[in-house]
Chain A
């Protein structure tokens, strides 16, 4: 069988849709059954609602749910509103350009590493308070404040906003390419509107549909995040997702039932929140109609602008400084409060950390490379199928684009809380007695790697000048040769970039590693989260930096490799 422009390339989207659909459905089934008291492996065979009663009567469960709702929804609304404000006031200015530059390295920072650095900054004995102590505060000892792990989850919510902000900005930048920004701004200004008004009234309503799925994904993530919640969230009681993981890991197997009920409940919370946001969107559409057409063109006060600017600077600042503070701590031997810098430095913790993290690092690298590589093949296969669907060389007018379906399926793993269907998959694997295989672990990573790779590559891939491949085909070369000798080499940069993103996503995975790995595989991320509470700050910093360093290496390669390969090809340099 010959792989030609049409035809067989369909296997890629079909494969992705099939396997994604099956995995997620079976994951949900795997939580549904135990939540109904059905888990034959441990002798529960009679379907009943008793598990749900146990769940709702668990001590502190109400607080857990409230904390989850508060931190998750505050973070989601916060980041969406702030992204809109940020585009409105900062599109195209210096701050925006800085963001464009640092976006990828910032996105590659694993959640856990960022959370640890952020914690080291804002803790009562953290860098921020050290900066102003004792000069401004008079503190000679760290104050007795519960900033970190605060009972309401405020520090968790703030960290989530900072971490999700670059992600939503990335999606926005991709979407902006599809809107005629400059023309709209020009047309609007010709009608006497200020730039900010054009953004709020015309561009953001047009932008929103492109962001909708990503916003839903942010909601699902914020409500169900585990690694950041363990590090920054409240501990007694913890947010729901952390509690579910605790139940899941309980030596008493019957807790797995409550864990299943809990994760299903978390799923309902996410579904309801997404519905709520959808309703808000609809009603905003309805209410804003008269506001959009009321003709008001005035600008906003300068003070408002500078607040948004300041917050943008804060986000960049916190992201950067939380990495710097990790570096400082990792090199510390002795650092007394309230000194601004350590008194004695050492490399001892690096030496120790590098040795003890060797095995987890290897597992991380191996899994990440495999997931990103398979992800790349699937991404290119799907995109190629999609692009080719728009050309028909034979006399057929039946080009039905099934890309939309694929898109929704790709987003599914980001819309269902990780812990919900990962727990289900793990329970199913346990039931079938095939848990703890590396291939399952890698597959679970791929579920999250693939969507991000697809999002990051699709815009550039679709924008590829089709005349170049047409020209190559007209020169009489078969499709596969054109693909591998012309198109993919020309797209090397974005392809490697997408690979780097996929790898970074795999490195950051905590829940899939813990659950599907069945405790048999430890990656640098599970190590970081495990030692995050309670261990020596210096050791934690080393581990967090190693975790942060791995994706950076791949990013660096993705930037350097094309430069080396195409050093004498000016047309390939950007």
Chain B
């Protein structure tokens, strides 16, 4: 159960770009997809998130807690995603960025406390009114994760989320991200080319590029 990829292959101009993928990720677990750049790692992620480019054709089945994802539009998949860049919305302050992710039904008061609490876990108390561009790279990365988690996703995808961070920051942010995934107890899929990024004890899948 949880996040299952069954015989997933992606075709471009009729030929598969990698061997069919079969993965089962349990809640709280992180599976790492590795492979050289251009092997289709990110494409695999966008297939799961629902943002696959039109040049690709997708085969197989992707299920989240038993629910087939492939027929759902991305906003209904309930999947969070972290990219290389923080992708904070530059025209909103930190508080609004986080509030944007919280479900509509939540009351205003509740929103405020949720944001406060989230910022506290990341050591960013009182950052609500700050402009995203005034934050450091590590701070932005943390806010970005907080935002994804505030949407209460059922799974988290990560596309090389640490690759643009300084070496000194990397380990710290990585630990923060992994601990949050454990806390939320959701399945996570991580794409990276850095072996150091793999969490201890997590599954590793090597993606072979067929086009060479």
Contact = CB atoms under 8 A, between A and B. Distances in A.
Contact of B50 (A4, A393, A569): A393
A165 B77 CA distance: 50
A466 B87 CA distance: 10
B134 interface: yes
B53 A474 contact: no
Say what secondary structure dominates the interface of chain B: loop
A470 B52 contact: no
Given A393-B51, A475-B151, A467 B85 contact: yes
B208 interface: no
Given A467-B83, A474-B49, A570-B134, A395 B75 contact: no
Interface string B59-84: 10000000000111111111111010
Nearest to A393: B50
A403 to B, nearest CB: 13
Interface string A463-476: 00111101111111
A490 interface: yes
Contacts of B49: 470, 474
A6 to B, nearest CB: 9
A375 to B, nearest CB: 24
Contacts of A393: 50-52, 72-74
Contacts, number: 107
Contact of B91 (A466, A471, A571): A571
Contacts of B52: 391-393
B22 to A, nearest CB: 18
Point out which of B57, B74, B75, B134 has the most chain A C-beta atoms below 10 A from its C-beta: B75
B100 interface: yes
Contacts of A4: 73
A167 interface: no
Contacts of A570: 90, 131, 133-134
Interface of B: 49-59, 70-81, 83, 85, 87-91, 93, 100-101, 103, 131-134, 147-148, 151, 153
Identify the 8 closest CB pairs spanning chains A and B, nearest first.
A571-B90, A399-B54, A570-B133, A571-B133, A393-B50, A473-B75, A475-B151, A397-B57
26 contacts: A4-B73, A391-B54, A393-B51, A393-B73, A394-B71, A394-B73, A395-B57, A465-B87, A467-B85, A470-B51, A472-B89, A474-B75, A474-B77, A475-B100, A476-B75, A476-B103, A477-B75, A477-B100, A479-B73, A485-B100, A489-B91, A490-B90, A492-B91, A569-B91, A570-B134, A571-B88
